[in-house]
Amino acid sequence: MKFQKSPGTQDILPGAVERWQFVEGKAREICSRYNFREIRTPIFESTELFQRGVGETTDIVEKEMYTFIDRGERSLTLRPEGTAGVVRSYVENKLYGEPDVSKLYYIGPMFRYERPQAGRYRQLHQFGVEAIGAVDPALDAEVIALGYTFYTEVGLRGVRVEINSVGTPAVRADFREKLLAFLEPKRSILCKDCQSRMDRNPLRVLDCKEDQKHFEGAPSILDSLDEECRLHFDKVQQCLSDMGIPYSINSKLVRGLDYYTHTAFEYKAEGIGAIDTIGGGGRYNGLVSDIGGPDQPGVGVGLGLERTILLLEHQQTELPNKHEIDVYLVALGDAADREVTKLVYQLRQRGIRAERDYQGRKMKAQMKSADRLGARFTAILGDNELESGEIVLKDMAKGEQNTIALANLASAIQE
């Protein structure tokens, strides 16, 4: 029987995984500068957590979750997004007892049963941050700036930031009536998804890619904002402008999750077919209390790593993709072979990336292997050199070689 990976998943092989390591390393480094600390939560959680946290009328909960019953008759779900699990951990571990804002980040796999296509996977990877404990609009702007910094520093070009305010539940209730009055006469010409959303969550209708042509002249939620929401949104824009973060306002942007309040935002870039959204987030002031914690405000962002890497490749951005080593040791003779086993271990203990042959190949084949691995040096040890306590060290870039004392090998490579 021939086994293959499941649809919507991928093998990240050596040669490509180095790009992932670069992108993930950049995410961690930026989070350190922004004073966000890493948190790691379970890959599966109680199904009810996502139903309550993400929203029962969202596509994620209705169509995309991987849910199963375990042997204890509990309904569990592979996490489809990162925020709900982080907030659950924040509440369960009483992080709200800390005097400062909890600034947390995560990197890991998420699972959604979607139709596989370029930039859309059933196992996807997200880098996300959550800042919980403050209502200051400057924190919204900081989170937006962090995501923008990530994209620019990994080398992406042409990333756009779109922002909107989705107000408070009271504001949305008022806007809902205005929107329904606009949509009702068009119900029969809208797609089935929009017709269903009209009855359950009309704001999501505006997010439909298929029916955008029918929404010309639709009311804007920005016209329904109360003074508090308007001031918050104005301050976010002011902070972004002060930081020099380019943005535009998209009054139809609502995001696909029910927990957002006030600020919602997305990052856009062209190059992955019909998909142009590569990340997004927003403020979620009621989520912590919905999940059973104290009434603590929060704001977060989730960035898709597959889409980031696909865009970097599309833009032909140079990324690290070679696993290079410092030295390749070539053994010629039985006694030299035994010594090389010890030398490789000693060099690695000194922090030197070292490799050797394990297939009994001739010197020419070993030298080719060293070249394929991008070795900076090759160290050639024969039985004669071993007897005299010497080894030949060759600089692969310069083509120069010197015979040095065997005891000086590590220091010569490090120098």
Please report the beta strands in 24-158, taking only residues with DSSP state E, as ranges in sequence order: 37-38, 44-46, 67-69, 75-78, 102-111, 123-132
Q: How confident is the model at residue 151 (pLDDT cuts 50, 70, 90)?
A: very high
Output the pLDDT for position 237: 98
Instruction: Summarize the confidence of residues 239-244 as an average pLDDT.
Output: 97
| pLDDT value at residue 103 | 98
**Predicted confidence band of residue 120 (pLDDT cuts 50, 70, 90):** confident
Q: Output phi, psi for 28, to 5 deg.
A: -65, -40
Give the amino acid at 302: G
CA distance 301 to 415: 44
User: Which tens digit of pLDDT belongs to each residue from 103-117?
Assistant: 999 999 999 998 877
Closest CA to 225 of 264, 198, 181: 264
Confidence of residue 321 (pLDDT cuts 50, 70, 90): low
For position 198, what pLDDT does the model report? 80
Residue type, 30: I
What is the rounded CA–CA span in Å between residue 10 and residue 176? 41
Question: In the prediction, which pLDDT does 381 show?
Answer: 95
Contacts of 234 (CB under 8 A, 6+ apart): none
Cβ density class 98-124: b for 16+ within 10 Å, e for less: eeebbbbbbbbebbbbbeeeebbbbbb
CA atoms of 39 and 46, how far apart (whole Å): 18
Is the confidence at residue 15, as pLDDT, over 70?
A: yes
Following DSSP, what letter does each residue of 389-405 receive, concatenated?
TEEEEEETTTTEEEEEE
Q: What is the pLDDT of residue 257?
A: 66
Q: Which domains does the chain have, with CATH numbers?
A: 17-167+225-314 (3.30.930.10), 327-414 (3.40.50.800)
Q: At what angle do helices 227-243 and 137-154 cross, to 10 degrees?
A: 40
How many angstroms separate the CA atoms of 362 and 367, rounded? 9
Band (pLDDT 50/70/90 cuts) for residue 270 is: confident
Residues 6 or more apart whose CB falls under 8 angstroms from that of 225 comprise 165, 167, 171, 233
Q: What is the pLDDT of residue 19?
A: 92
The overall average pLDDT reported for the chain is 91
Mean pLDDT of 236-247: 97
